[in-house]
Amino acid sequence: MPLAAELRHVSFGYGNGPLVLRDVDLAIRPAEFVAIAGPNGGGKTTLVRLILGLEEPTKGEASLFGERATRFTQRSRIGYLAQRAQLGVDAPVTVREVVSAGRVAATRLIGRATRSDRAIVAEAVERVGLSALVDRPIQRLSGGQQQRAFIAKALAAQPSLLVLDEPTTGVDVEAQEAFAALLDELHRHLDVTVLYASHEFGAVERFVERLVLVRGTIVFDGKPSDLPQLWHDPSHVHA
Amino acid sequence: MLELEFMRLALATGAVIGVLAPATGFFLVQRRLSLIGDGIGHVAFAGVALAYLADLPVIATALAVAVVGALAIEWLRASGTAAADQALAIVFYVGIAAGVVGVSLAGALDVQLFSFLFGSILTTTRTDFVTVALLGTAGLVIIALLYRALVAVTLDEEGARVAGVPVAALNVTTAVLAALTVAISMRIVGILLIAALMVLPVIAASRIAWSMRSTILIAMAIGLGSVLSGLTSAYYGDLPPGGTIVLVAAATVLVAALAGRVIRA
């Protein structure tokens, strides 16, 4: 079985600017739950964008499920929750509409959603515990509930790889803990590969099997329990 | 009023425009691209000038030039060649300048030109109505068929791109729909005011709606009501139809904002 994602000797800089990442090697196996952590500006989001094929490496190769990432053809296998995911629209948008939007790529683009699509959307909403709020505008939900709705949107594509970039920014600590527990449950039940990028990895630390620390390059890759004590200090990570 | 053929044609043509303009504008407003309709309107003006110069059919020529302008805006925006507002500014100024020069060269700085800029209820012909009905229906069918995909891009463009939704093709489709709306609306509402009919009903609807689907449907109803009541007022008050329609639509924004506060209180 091919790796879910792989970076081989990848370096990257935006335009003619300095390199943001240097000589990164990373292999994500199917069904792993991996946290990518590091200070702000350390290159986490860039690393995620390279994995997703949104950026072409300056040097090296990035691949998804054995294919070159920028030319990956099975994109509906990816569920993606972008950094500070939020709606930029003025109109009220129900939870059902948000989650249904995540189903579009996995099914036909033209015409109405099928009965099967509607059932998959309902299941995704139920998995994140929002069935009672499915027809409520997401703008009226709490930050934690909104994050759950966005996760359901990512799940509606029934992905093999779930990528979350700073998913809990602006969400209180209690909601972050609940969110991490939800991810752990989804990972175990759906057998999906989870890539969780955040400068605050405390909430997911007890659930992840592997922690990758990024600061211009990969400075640690292993079990969270093997991490030097210094990095468990949040003030260090934020520095 | 309805015994007059020009009013029947104006109302029937206006009904198509009243429904199509907010349906197209919905996706622009939600993506913070409200001014694109204005930019395309200015380009359509250059199309009108070209039609005068080359003695071509006005709506078809304006449509062709507006589509080129819409694609130019989308290309400039998507390629990052110019920031979105700069892209619009370039198209705005080139469009209006080319229009003024072209119309002047054609010696057509007359009342008919004024009607294209601000709308008229006297100039709609049977041929215009058939053209608008066919193109308007085509636009509405495209929106209905691509609704789910357009919503996915509107809610999260990057997420949709990651998931493999053909974002570039859908953005081009949206730009072409905007050009189509502008071109078929200029007889009644006018090139300089059509963008308002794409935007104001959507703003009003979002204040009282409860979902995206209800927002677009309410916006279409407000657009239709604004055009029909605006044309009727223009007829009885001897007012310019474009300005009257837009003022009615603006009044609905005010009423909807107040109603929205009451609903949420």
Strand partners, A193: A161
Q: Looking at the complex, does the CB of residue B94 fall below 8 Å from at least one CB of chain A?
A: no
Least confidently predicted of A81-90, A165-174, B114-123: A81-90
pTM: 0.85
Residues 145-204 of B with CB under 8 A from A: 145-146, 148-149, 151-152, 154-156, 158-166, 202-203
Is the pLDDT higher at B202 or at A182? B202
DSSP characters for A9-35? Answer: EEEEESTTS-EEEEEEEEEE-TT-EEE
Q: What confidence tier does B219 reach under pLDDT thresholds 50, 70, 90? A: very high
Specify the residue for token string 């071509």. Answer: B56
Give residue-wise pLDDT tens across range B14-65. 999 999 999 999 999 888 877 788 888 888 989 988 988 888 988 889 999 9
Q: Pairing between strand A78-81 and A161-165?
A: parallel
Q: Are strands A210-214 and A33-37 parallel, antiparallel or unpaired?
A: parallel
Question: Distance from CA of residue A225 to its chain's centroid?
Answer: 22
- The arithmetic mean of pLDDT across residues A84-105, rounded, is 83
Task: Count the neighbouring beta carbons within 10 Å of the beta carbon of residue B204.
Answer: 28
C-alpha to C-alpha distance for B187 and B13, rounded to whole angstroms = 9
Q: How far apart are CA B240 and CA B221, in angstroms?
A: 22
Phi-psi region of B142 (alpha: psi -120 to 50; beta: other; left: phi over 0): alpha
pLDDT at residue B78 above 80? no
Express each pLDDT in A180-203 by its tens digit.
Answer: 888 888 888 888 899 988 877 777
Tokens representing residue A175 in the block = 């909601």
User: Which one is predicted more confidently, B142 or B124?
Assistant: B142
Q: Which residues contact A126 (CB under 8 A, 6 or more apart)?
A: none
Cβ pair A139, A87 in contact under 8 A: yes
Q: Which helix (H) or strand (E) holds B38?
A: helix B36-54
Q: What is the fold, at CATH topology level, of the domain defined by A5-238?
A: Rossmann fold (3.40.50)
The residues spanned by each domain of chain A are 5-238
Q: Radius of gyration over alpha carbons of chain A, in Å?
A: 18
- How far apart are alpha carbons A207 and A230 in whole angstroms? 20
Cα separation, A40 vs B240, whole angstroms: 57
The whole-angstrom separation of Cα A172 and Cα A159 is 27
Lowest mean pLDDT among A138-152, B8-22, B68-82, B158-172: B68-82
- Sign of the alpha-carbon torsion through B160, B166, B172, B173: negative
pLDDT, greater one: B221 or A158:
B221
CA angle B136, B141, B144 (to 5 degrees): 125
Residue type, A94: T
Average pLDDT over residues A157-170: 84
Task: Please tell me the number of Cα atoms within 13 Å of A68 on its side-chain side.
Answer: 7
How distant, in Å, are the alpha carbons of A29, A70, A236, B116 from that of A65?
9, 12, 34, 56
- Mean pLDDT rounded to a whole number for chain A: 85
pLDDT for residue A89 = 76
End-to-end Cα, chain A, rounded Å? 39
B223-256 per-position pLDDT tens digit: 999 999 999 998 999 888 888 999 999 999 999 9
Q: What is the per-residue pLDDT for A7?
A: 93
- Per-residue confidence band for A238, with pLDDT thresholds at 50, 70 and 90: very low
| Nearest 10 degrees: Cα torsion A17, A19, A20, A22 | 170
Percent of chain B with pLDDT over 70: 97
Closest to A101 measured CA to CA, from B162, B160, B30, B209:
B160
- ipTM of the complex as predicted: 0.83
CA angle, A73 as apex, A71 and A77 as ends, to 5°? 120
- Average pLDDT (B162-170) is 90
pLDDT for the residue numbered A239: 39
Interfacial B residues in 213-252 facing A (CB < 8 Å): 213-215
Which pLDDT score, from 0 to 100, does residue A233 have?
58
The verdict on a CB contact (< 8 Å) between B215 and A92 is: yes
pLDDT digits (tens, 9 = 90+) for A36-62: 988 888 888 899 999 999 999 999 999
According to DSSP, the residues that pair with A63 across neighbouring strands are: A6, A68
**Are B210 and A94 within 8 A, CB to CB?**
yes
The DSSP string of B137-190 is HHHHHHHHHHHHHHHHHHH-HHHHHHTT--HHHHHHHHHHHHHHHHHHHTTTT-
Domains of chain B: 5-260 (1.10.3470.10)
Report the pLDDT value the prediction gives residue B227, as an integer from 0 to 100: 93
B264 vs A212: which has the higher pLDDT: A212
- Determine which of A43-57, A218-232, B54-68, B145-159 has the lowest per-residue pLDDT on average: A218-232
CB of B205 within 8 Å of any CB in chain A? yes
Whether A54 and B161 lie within 8 Å, measured CB to CB = yes
For residue B209, give the chain A residue with the closest CA.
A92
Judged by CB atoms closer than 8 Å, whether chains meet at B211 and A112 is answered as no
